[in-house]
Amino acid sequence: MSMEEPRKPQATLELVAERAGVSRATVSRVVNGSDRVKAGAKKAVEQAIRELNYVPNRAARSLAQGRSNSIALVVPENTAKFFADPYFAKVVQGAAQYLAGTEFMLTLLLSTESDPAKTTRYLQGGNVDGALVLSHHADDQSYADLGALLPMVYGGRTMSTDQNEIYVVDIDNIAAARQATELIIDRGRSKLAMIAGPQDMGAGLDRLIGFQRAVQDAGLEPVAIEAGDFTPASGHQIMQQMIKNNIEFDGLFAASAQMGFGALQALAEAGISVPEQVSVTAVDDDSFARSSTPPLTTIAQFPERQGEIMAELLIKRIHGEQVPEWSIMDTKLVLRDSH
């Protein structure tokens, strides 16, 4: 059905102006929704735009305005797991969805290990108006200084010290872990083990703290604590090891649903029944939590919403609005059969 239509040259503001019989400035005003344009002129311009199928050139606009109308989503690549993790995927989705309703575009920035400075340079270069930073490990100090140059919003608390003006959207990981742990204790269990997260990440660290506090407050001692990397495989492997080491426990708190999922598998393989012999809870509610056997009792967070809030805050900051440095999101207890 191709009509051999001669490929029209990309319409410009100037062309639209000519056709509508007005100046470029007027066209620009119409395009940008200024109200200082007579209805008649506006109509003419709009028609010309339609006829010419005009679309503004972003580069030109950016150059003239001195801003890019796009923001970066920075993803430390060392986190190869990043994309495999439903949590991050959802955060991205939430942010992208929010931005779809704005003038901003989302640029994916994989910060390569080979050349981390590349990312920094890009961010500094005025190529984006702000940045969303995810999966922030302790060694990612690279962006810390950028905070002064560019509005940034972090997903999950950073581990930086002596920093001011760090904008973070996160849940209260300590409280979440504590609550999940208490669930187990309330079941009358007293020999608690934990599969913790990476200790170079805020979420990993805080969930460990929450667990420890809950255990301590109950007058107990943890029987085992081992750190994984949030993946199902690590949960599986750690649990196998615990079993092999003949550790006696009747309760298990996993810092992520993915690790809980893996642990549950190892438990099943060893013929240990859940929740009868071991009561299990975790943080995160994702497809792993729902599809494990038995389904996991968890403290749910809402990653899409988190992404949305991150994007929203960033845009506000870009527009010069004041926003709180800390946005602590609510969590929700999801009772299933594992505890």
Partner DNA sequence: TTGAAAGCGCTAACAT
Partner DNA sequence: ATGTTAGCGCTTTCAA
Query: Does 199 engage in binding with DNA (CB under 7 A)?
Result: no
| CB nearer a copy of itself, residue 24 or residue 213 | 24
The three-state secondary structure class of 162 is coil
Binding test (CB under 7 A) with DNA, winner from 18, 31, 304, 323: 31
Q: At its nearest, how many Å lie between DNA and the CB of residue 314?
A: 20
For the chain, how many helices (H) and strands (E)?
12, 12
**Binding partner of 14, given a copy of itself, DNA, none, CB within 5-8 angstroms per partner class:** DNA
| CB nearer DNA, residue 14 or residue 337 | 14
Binding test (CB under 7 A) with DNA, winner from 4, 5, 6, 36: 36
Q: At its nearest, how many Å lie between DNA and the CB of residue 153?
A: 24
**Binding partner of 22, given DNA, a copy of itself, none, CB within 5-8 angstroms per partner class:** DNA
| CB nearer DNA, residue 130 or residue 202 | 130
**Binding partner of 1, given DNA, a copy of itself, none, CB within 5-8 angstroms per partner class:** a copy of itself
Binding test (CB under 7 A) with DNA, winner from 2, 4, 5, 66: 66
Q: At its nearest, how many Å lie between a copy of itself and the CB of residue 118?
A: 8
Query: Does 37 engage in binding with DNA (CB under 7 A)?
Result: yes
Query: Does 28 engage in binding with DNA (CB under 7 A)?
Result: yes
Parallel/antiparallel/unpaired status of strands 326-329 and 70-76: unpaired
Which one of the spans 52-60, 107-115, 182-190, 319-327 is the region binding DNA (CB under 7 A)? 52-60
The CA-atom distances, in angstroms, between 327 and each of 71, 86, 156, 311 are: 20, 21, 10, 12
**Binding partner of 12, given DNA, a copy of itself, none, CB within 5-8 angstroms per partner class:** DNA
Q: At its nearest, how many Å lie between DNA and the CB of residue 228?
A: 45
